[in-house]
Amino acid sequence: MSRGALELDEQSLITAKLIRRYNGGASHQTAESNLEEWIIQMSFVLDVARQGFINGEPAGTIVDRLAGRLHDIRRNAGPDIWQQLIAFAQQHPVKEYLMQDPFTRWSVEKPRGYSGDASLLDIYYKHPAAREYIEASTPLGQEIYAYTSEAASSVAGRERCEILARTVDEAADRAENAEILAIACGHMREGELSKALKENRLKRWIGLDQDPVSVGFVTRDHAGTAIEAMEGNVKGLLRRSYKIGTFDLVYASGLYDYLPRAIGVRLMQRAMELVKPGGEFLFANFSDEITTDGYMEAFMDWPLLLRSADDMWDIINGAVDRNEVDAEVFYGENRNIVYGKVRKRG
Ligand SMILES: C[S@@+](CC[C@H](N)C(=O)[O-])C[C@H]1O[C@@H](n2cnc3c(N)ncnc32)[C@H](O)[C@@H]1O
Domain boundaries, the chain: 12-20+30-151, 154-344
Residue whose CA lies nearest to ligand 1 atom number 13:
184
Which residue stretches of 186-233 are H helix? 195-198, 212-221
Quote the pLDDT of residue 20. 64
Do 169 and 199 contact (CB within 8 A), yes or no?
Answer: no
The CATH H-level (homologous superfamily) assignment of domain 154-344 is Vaccinia Virus protein VP39 (3.40.50.150)
Whether residue 107 has its Cβ less than 6 Å from ligand 1 = no
Q: Is the CB of 253 under 6 A from ligand 1?
A: yes
Is there an atom of ligand 1 within 6 Å of 210 CB?
yes
pLDDT in tens, the chain (346 residues): 344 467 788 888 888 778 767 765 455 555 666 999 999 999 999 999 999 999 999 999 999 999 999 999 999 999 999 999 999 999 999 999 999 999 999 999 999 999 999 999 999 999 999 999 999 999 999 999 999 999 999 999 999 999 999 999 999 999 999 999 999 999 999 999 999 999 999 999 999 999 999 999 999 999 999 999 999 999 999 999 999 999 999 999 999 999 999 999 999 999 999 999 999 999 999 999 999 999 999 999 999 999 999 999 999 999 999 999 999 999 999 999 999 999 999 8
Q: What pLDDT sits at residue 226?
A: 98
How far, in Å, is the centroid of ligand 1 from the Cα of 40? 38
Question: Which of 212, 173, 216 is closest to 196 using CA atoms?
Answer: 173
Task: Give me ligand 1 centre to Cα 256, in Å.
Answer: 9
- Determine the Cα–Cα distance for residues 157 and 260; give it in Å rounded to an integer: 21
Q: Which of 151, 206, 204 is nearest to 184 (CA)?
A: 206
Q: Is the distance from the beta carbon of residue 116 to the nearest atom of ligand 1 less than 6 Å? A: yes
The torsion region of residue 116 among left (phi > 0), alpha (psi -120 to 50) and beta comes to left
Q: Does residue 209 line the site of ligand 1, with CB under 6 A?
A: yes
> Is 338:110 a contact under the CB 8 Å cutoff?
no
What stretches of 91-151 show up as alpha helix (H) in DSSP? 95-98, 102-109, 118-125, 131-135, 139-148
Looking at residue 114, the DSSP 8-state letter turns out to be S
Cβ–Cβ < 8 Å for 327, 279: no
Judge contact between 260 and 315, C-beta under 8 A: no
In short, whether 137's Cβ falls inside 6 Å of ligand 1 is no
Instruction: Report how far residue 196's alpha carbon sits from residue 177's, in angstroms, rounded to the nearest whole number.
Output: 10
